[in-house]
Amino acid sequence: MTAIRLIKSIALILLYIALLPVWILLILLKMAIYKTVLTKNMVKSGIPKEHARQMAKEMSLTNLVTRNN
């Protein structure tokens, strides 16, 4: 029983290691889409384009993680 759990644990760890690059790419893609949509919406609401881009650059990953849906 213990050997089976050990094998399952090792398999899960290897799976997480294999999927880590995919997760990182998905997070970066989501962040890029978020900033693009944010900039477009700010420009539509009347904020100058350069100012909107600068504000979008100040956004961080925590905004995506802690955002309430």
In this predicted model, what pLDDT tens digit does every residue of 6-45 receive, in sequence order?
999 999 999 999 999 999 999 889 889 989 999 999 999 9
Distance CA 34, CA 67 (A): 12
Distance CA 44, CA 26 (A): 27
- 42 membership: H or E segment, kind and range: helix 2-44
DSSP state, 33? Answer: H
pLDDT at 58: 83
pTM of the model: 0.66
Token reading at 16: 């997480």
Distance CA 43, CA 37 (A): 10
pLDDT at 55: 87
